[in-house]
A and B are shown apart, each in its own frame.
Chain A
């Protein structure tokens, strides 16, 4: 998030205008329509770099998010910056795989919060923050929207509360007991 990117509104607006074609099921041996790998290769060629292989470890949902990211980033602001290519590759191969576990491409187009989250997620991976925001603001907003984080927190909240209680009780009990001998003052 060190560098300033385009304005957030430009990106969320672009997402809202994403043609339905990008959301069609990705091409697979027997089913599907759109060839996401070809879309991605096109994008890298437009950036002026060798396409290279994308690892779609997250399956169809992952591929759909990559298709959506290609739509989002296939814009003059990004295409004029070939230095973003390595980070873009990591975004496509790794971080969108994780994101695909909790959010779908469809949601990232239809739901305003998810549009913002997806835009921020892509910017963040490219070491960018929305124009006009400080690093702190961008990080803050990103965290509060982060589905990956929130989803897990929801799932683990019960376990976390139980664990906190357990530690608290143990600490209270041990506070009255002997500690270990310490050889210096602090």
Chain B
């Protein structure tokens, strides 16, 4: 399979070589995780469960950061809400403080991520933790009625990218019975001749696709045909228009996927559209107020997670930088795990209308979603003047006058410029995410 993926006459110029790095001894652990993913689903309380507490108690002895910041005299269940939190800054400054003392380093792998701030951090990781992605993907697919059969004669998945520069490679995955997998950059420059991408997709017919909105939209623009059973989309929130168009074009569900390098997958979009369900059973999620104490039920705050399965980066109240509301009530879709509602992957940014009243970015997003935009970047300067850069969906010219009108109704008569940039989001550094909102106004308490 690997040979076929690499030697096909239309194969892209792969620039990287890697595999699933799985060892036979890893299999029982992954099987156990796969089992727990189904068996341990259930309603969660808005307080840490006993498994989470016992992990943290153990980390007080073996994880330097926890040892320094959570004294043994603190009673974890009682004082949980006032315990310190961790963030990407902590990982940026001293990642080794999160690596347990007794954890062997021979299988350590490194991922770099820029997140939304643009400052790359180095994340210590472990192949077993990465291989737990596959059961989670299968679970999310099955929630949408998709149950692909994997075998060593076919390709499980293409991870689609459309970037100026990104790693590309092909491999086979033991977790999926030796099925093929390739990370591709569909930009024409990466391929041997015109139409290669189309022929390559046709030849291998991946069972499903993963990627981000920009890549999927580019796939449509390039006229790449495929018949995946589902599209799993990550990185940037996808507009409902694009989701609908993709779903119609490829006749498959589009599944929003909430995942970070530091945490691994956190949530998947509820098949009935009721927010994002917490995906892994071994992750305790909470929503925090700015002071780090838990938000009230139904109150908006920053999502933080504890636990996970990366043996080289135990997560302790890790602030994701993403904001939302947590809902523990039962969901009609049947998944008993709690949900994140109004999930927004960014820090709250202060936007003010002409009369100074604050305008929520959630509302602006809701407003902008009415228009056929792929992504946008909205900036408010200190003099309140606003600037909107948009990348429209391919082949559609958005009604700029209508957008101006809608924004003016919400913001008042502020100076507003709208610019169309079809390359917005195509950064040289493939890991920098576009910030949907920026403001030069100072957020005061």
- Could you tell me which A residues sit within 8 Å of B by CB distance? 1-2, 95, 98-99, 121, 124-125, 127, 135-136, 139, 142-143, 146, 148-149, 152-153, 159-160, 163-164, 166-168, 170-171, 174-175, 177-186
Contact = CB atoms under 8 A, between A and B. Distances in A.
Contacts of A186: 113, 234-235, 259-261
Contacts of A182: 111, 130, 133, 159, 183
Given A124-B73, A167-B96, A185 B82 contact: no
Contacts of B127: 180
Contacts of B5: none
Contact of B159 (A146, A168, A184): A184
Given A146-B71, A164-B97, A167-B96, A175 B19 contact: no
B173 interface: yes
15 contacts: A1-B82, A121-B73, A124-B73, A124-B74, A125-B75, A168-B96, A175-B122, A179-B111, A180-B18, A182-B111, A183-B157, A183-B173, A184-B257, A185-B212, A186-B260
B21 A149 contact: no
B18 A184 contact: no
Contacts of A167: 95-96, 99, 105, 124
Contacts of A168: 96
Given A171-B124, A181-B19, A185-B161, 15 more contacts: A121-B73, A149-B72, A163-B64, A164-B97, A167-B96, A167-B99, A167-B124, A170-B108, A171-B122, A177-B110, A179-B18, A179-B111, A179-B130, A180-B109, A183-B157
Contacts, number: 134
B181 interface: yes
A184 B215 CA distance: 13
Contacts of B257: 184
Given A179-B109, A180-B20, A180-B130, A142 B73 contact: yes
Given A142-B73, A183-B134, A183-B159, A135 B82 contact: yes
Interface string B284-323: 0000000100000000000000000000000000000000
A144 to B, nearest CB: 10
Nearest to A146: B71
Interface residues of B, number: 61
B105 A180 contact: no
Contacts of A2: 78
A170 B105 contact: yes
Given A166-B105, A168-B96, A180-B131, A185 B211 contact: yes
B344 to A, nearest CB: 17
Given A149-B72, A167-B99, A170-B108, A184 B137 contact: yes
A160 B99 CA distance: 11
B79 interface: yes
B169 interface: yes
Contacts of A125: 73, 75
Interface in B75-89: 75, 78-79, 82
B18 A185 contact: no
Most chain A CB within 10 A, of B74, B134, B215, is at: B74
A183 B101 contact: no
A160 B94 CA distance: 13
B68 interface: yes
Interface in B96-120: 96-97, 99, 101, 105, 108-113
A139 to B, nearest CB: 6
Chain A's interface: helix, strand, loop or mixed, by majority?
helix
Contacts of B161: 185
Contacts of A99: 73
B379 interface: no
Contacts of B137: 183-184
A174 B234 contact: no
B232 interface: yes
B17 interface: yes
Most chain B CB within 10 A, of A163, A182, A186, is at: A186
Contact of A178 (B16, B68, B159): B16
B210 A185 contact: yes
Given A183-B133, A186-B261, A142 B210 contact: no
B12 interface: no
Contacts of A174: 108-110
A1 B73 contact: no
A127 B16 contact: no
Given A124-B73, A182-B130, A185-B210, A175 B110 contact: yes
A101 B157 CA distance: 57
A179 B79 contact: no
A177 B125 CA distance: 13
B265 interface: yes
B171 interface: yes
B169 A181 contact: yes
Contacts of B134: 183
A81 B161 CA distance: 64
A65 to B, nearest CB: 13
B21 A180 contact: yes
B71 A178 contact: no
A180 to B, nearest CB: 4
Contacts of A181: 18-21, 130, 169, 171, 173, 181, 183
Contacts of B133: 182-184
A61 B254 CA distance: 65
Interface pairs A-B: 3 shortest CB-CB: A167-B96, A180-B21, A178-B18
